[in-house]
Amino acid sequence: MSTMAARLTAFVRGESWRDRMERIASASAGPVIGFALLLVVWKIISLKVAEIPGPEPTLLAAVELFKDPFYDNGPNDVGIGWNILASLGRVALGFALAAAIGIPTGFLIGRVPALNAICSPVISLLRPVSPLAWLPLGLLLFKAANPAAIWAIFICSIWPMIINTAEGVRRVPQDYLNVARVLDLSEWKVFTRILLPSVLPYVMTGVRLSIGTAWLVIVAAEMLTGGTGLGFWLWDEWNNLNVQNILIAVLVIGVVGLALDLILLALARRLDHTEA
């Protein structure tokens, strides 16, 4: 009760409110200045290069574009909302498949030294290959553009998950495992009581790296495969020489990618707090 009274007193006096506003202002100052500088640079470039529209006409075009984001006038003429959902759907499917295979594989590689010796050279060989280099093989295997794009997402997302998860398992203190051996814990209890809580931060790091790479790759893959999606829409606008919509596509891709990263960051913090 005394704590509640103290908070109420602080609120009435305005101290808590001022502190909160100061924290918000301090946290917002950097991003506001950064975006303001971006707009200034953009404006200067648009004044120097006549073909590049400035922030004001681009903003007006974006407002017009998002007035009806889910219209559908045929296969090659749909609203930007459908293109965003198409790209997110491909990323979600490829990413989920990569997580379902990559995270357990990482645990096994980190836990079994012989498996690590077998798999590490193969991973080191395949990991540097550009994800788009796998796209023709996807087209060859699946005979369709959409599964090929999902395949490219899968193959680029799986490596960070495997590597970070395996590294997390290897960094589990040996004392923990020695205690588990003394207590004769089953492998399942070792996994749930020791490995999983310790490795979770590494897993989430791999997941965040994977989603960033996946979002980068899907745009490029859709440019090559066509159909629907932000990548196809961006390339189609380039063919139509609609520079305003190209700039809007770049901004939308950035905003969606940032949103995905923030969601996973919030999830990682929540899981870390739950484990604590």
Q: What is the pLDDT of residue 84?
A: 93
Neighbour-count burial for 104-117, b at 16+ CB within 10 Å, e otherwise: ebbbebbbeeeebe
Between CA 261 and CA 238 the distance in angstroms is: 28
Phi and psi at residue 237, in whole multiples of 5°? -65, -35
Between CA 273 and CA 18 the distance in angstroms is: 27
Structure tokens at 168: 């997390």
- Ordered alpha helix ranges (H), the chain: 2-13, 15-48, 55-65, 80-111, 113-126, 135-142, 145-170, 174-182, 187-190, 196-225, 230-239, 243-275
Q: What is the pLDDT of residue 166?
A: 93
pTM: 0.80
Q: What is the pLDDT of residue 150?
A: 92
Local mean pLDDT, 10-residue blocks, the chain (276 residues): 48 60 75 87 89 90 89 81 92 94 93 91 90 88 89 93 93 81 79 83 90 89 84 89 91 91 85 58
Of the candidates 61, 62, 82, the residue with the CA atom closest to the CA atom of residue 70: 82
pLDDT tens per residue, range 30-49: 788 888 898 899 889 988 88
pLDDT tens per residue, range 9-27: 544 455 567 777 777 777 7
Superfamily of domain 80-275: MetI-like (1.10.3720.10)
